[in-house]
């Protein structure tokens, strides 16, 4: 069952319940109103007829020449039936319709058995309503009455209920017919409205079916309406934009990764093939093995970087972080650079007595080494590379500053993309594959921090890593220090 059908049926069902409840309430209100109106009119007709009797202290005198038949006929016409009788049941006068006395005798029998006044009853296959009025002086006369007078008279009037029943039947038929017509019109209208309202959803589904991994350029039709469907369209298109960007990064990553892996492998194979073409001196083999070792080390670094960058963000969250004072830890890490020819250019400047952060020492060491290696590669020998650490309101920071060539402003936003290398770096022939800063950014995010760059061409660059407050309490022992500048 389609959504249009379900919505239409729900709307029609709700409307049907409302219309049926309204029709039933209207029918009973009309029935009550017509009944009360009939009671009022019947009582008025009875009192008009009763006005033809003179009620005096010594009895009731009926004056036939004063019968108000015309007045009673205005309300009910020839349908009004009446009798005037004594308490003993002797009829004094009655209307002229055939069967009046039998009809009202049956009505009187009901009054005698305790029925309410007025009362309803069936006679001759028709429904009737009857009312009874007793005409007598108060107090009742004690002596004999004068000729032409009666101690009391009972007036009984009756009218058929056919007009009320006919009106109610007409109303019921009208309500049923009107309800059916309204429901049919509402069904047609609701389906048309639902189809029109859900047409964007149909177009969205058709467009979504045409989108696959090979071509993510398709987008849902733009809906400028500020409603839920418009919001859904915009959210879905934003999702497609993010997926497109992610797929493009993956394609670019795979292409660059394959290139970076093929290059050292080709170098390794080439060096080995050349060495095996003929017998060589041991020194020549040593030179080839040194070259192969360098190429293998480069390949290992590339593979490790690729494996780390290939992790999802959730997998990159690091367990087992240690609470570490970076003021004491960084000097111990810098001792790994003692064999580097530019170790003398490294300067450590702590800007606070203590800078505690939650890190994984080995991985954070890789981050620091990548920043130092980058700074040494892009600065001239003899220029200072400064490693600083300090406290921040929401954590601690570590930065590496060089006095090198600097980075163009348009290249800064792309520095942390895998395999990105600036034009100036390629022209200078600086070795590298463009993975160092990408790994730095991923490690910083994995530690819950962030990384930023401040650079000026010809002046130098400063890369700062901000780390949050540590959530754990274990401490790392202090390590040997290197030369520092206050």
Q: Burial of 157 by CB count in 10 Å (0-12 exposed, 13-18 middle, 19+ buried)? A: buried
Domain of 100: which CATH number? 3.30.450
Looking at the structure, tell me whether residues 365 and 443 fall in a common domain. Answer: yes
Question: What's the pLDDT tens digit per position in 348-378?
Answer: 999 888 888 888 787 788 889 889 988 888 8
Question: What's the pLDDT tens digit per position in 87-105?
Answer: 888 888 888 888 888 888 8
Exposure of 154 in the CB half-sphere (CA atoms within 13 A): 18
| CB 355 within 8 Å of CB 388 | no
**The domain containing residue 288 runs over which residues?**
228-309
Looking at the structure, tell me whether residues 445 and 330 fall in a common domain. Answer: yes
Q: Tokens 């163009």 map to which residue?
A: 408
Domain end residue (candidates: 309, 343, 364): 309
pTM strictly above 0.85: no
Residue 97 lies in a domain: yes
Cα–chain center distance at 402: 52
- What single-letter DSSP state applies at residue 142? -
Tell which wins on pLDDT, 77 or 47: 47
**Number of domains, the chain:** 3
Q: Helices 361-377 and 326-334: crossing angle, nearest 10°?
A: 60
Domain of 396: which CATH number? 3.30.565.10
Residue 72 lies in a domain: yes
Looking at the structure, tell me whether residues 295 and 431 fall in a common domain. Answer: no
Domain end residue (candidates: 309, 343, 372): 309
> Three-state DSSP class for 133?
strand
Q: What is the pLDDT of residue 305?
A: 58
Average pLDDT, the chain: 79
In sequence order, the 6+-apart residues with CB closer than 8 A to the CB of 424 are: 405, 407, 408
Residue 208 lies in a domain: no
């Amino acid at each position: 069952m389609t959504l249009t059908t379900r919505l239409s049926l729900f709307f029609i069902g709700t409307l049907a319940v409302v219309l049926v409840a309204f029709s039933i309430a209207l029918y009973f209100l009309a029935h009550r109103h017509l009944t009360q109106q009939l009671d009022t009119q019947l009582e008025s007709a009875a009192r008009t007829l009763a006005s033809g009797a003179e009620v005096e202290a010594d009895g009731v005198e009926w004056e036939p020449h004063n019968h108000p038949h015309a007045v009673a006929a205005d309300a009910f016409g020839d349908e009004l039936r009446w009798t005037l009788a004594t308490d003993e049941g002797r009829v004094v006068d009655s209307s002229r319709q055939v069967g009046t006395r039998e009809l009202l005798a049956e009505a009187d029998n009901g009054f005698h058995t305790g029925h309410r006044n007025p009362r309803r009853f069936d006679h001759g296959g028709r429904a009737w309503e009857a009312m009874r009025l007793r005409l007598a002086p108060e107090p009742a006369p004690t002596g004999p009455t004068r000729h032409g007078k009666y101690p009391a008279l009972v007036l009984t009037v009756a009218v058929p209920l056919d007009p009320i029943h006919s009106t109610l039947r007409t109303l019921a038929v009208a309500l049923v017919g009107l309800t059916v017509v309204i429901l049919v019109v509402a069904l047609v209208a609701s389906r048309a409205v639902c189809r029109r309202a859900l047409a964007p959803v149909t177009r969205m589904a058709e467009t979504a079916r045409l989108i696959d991994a090979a071509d993510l350029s398709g987008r849902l039709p733009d809906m400028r309406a500020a409603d839920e469907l418009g919001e859904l369209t915009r959210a879905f298109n934003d999702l497609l934009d993010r997926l497109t960007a992610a797929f493009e990064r993956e394609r670019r990553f795979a292409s660059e990764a394959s290139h970076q892996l093929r290059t050292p492998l080709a170098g390794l194979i080439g060096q080995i093939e050349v060495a095996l073409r003929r017998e060589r001196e041991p020194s020549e083999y040593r030179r080839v093995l040194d070259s192969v070792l360098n190429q293998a080390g480069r390949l290992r670094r590339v593979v490790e970087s690729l494996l780390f960058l290939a992790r999802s963000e959730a997998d990159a969250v690091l367990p087992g972080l240690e609470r570490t004072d970076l003021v004491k830890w960084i000097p111990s890490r810098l001792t790994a650079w003692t064999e580097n020819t530019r170790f003398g250019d490294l300067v450590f400047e702590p800007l606070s007595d203590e800078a505690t952060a939650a890190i994984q020492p080995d991985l954070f060491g890789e981050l620091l080494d990548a920043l130092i290696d980058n700074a040494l590669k892009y600065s001239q020998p003899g220029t200072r590379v400064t490693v600083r650490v300090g406290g921040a309101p929401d954590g601690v920071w570590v930065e590496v500053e060089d006095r090198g060539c600097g980075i163009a402003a348009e290249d800064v936003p792309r520095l942390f993309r895998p395999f990105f290398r600036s034009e100036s770096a390629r022209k200078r022939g600086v070795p590298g594959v463009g993975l160092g800063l990408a790994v730095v950014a991923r490690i910083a995010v994995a530690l819950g921090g962030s990384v930023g760059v401040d650079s000026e061409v010809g002046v130098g660059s400063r890369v700062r890593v901000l780390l949050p407050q540590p959530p754990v309490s274990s401490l790392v022992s202090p390590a040997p220090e290197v030369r520092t500048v206050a």
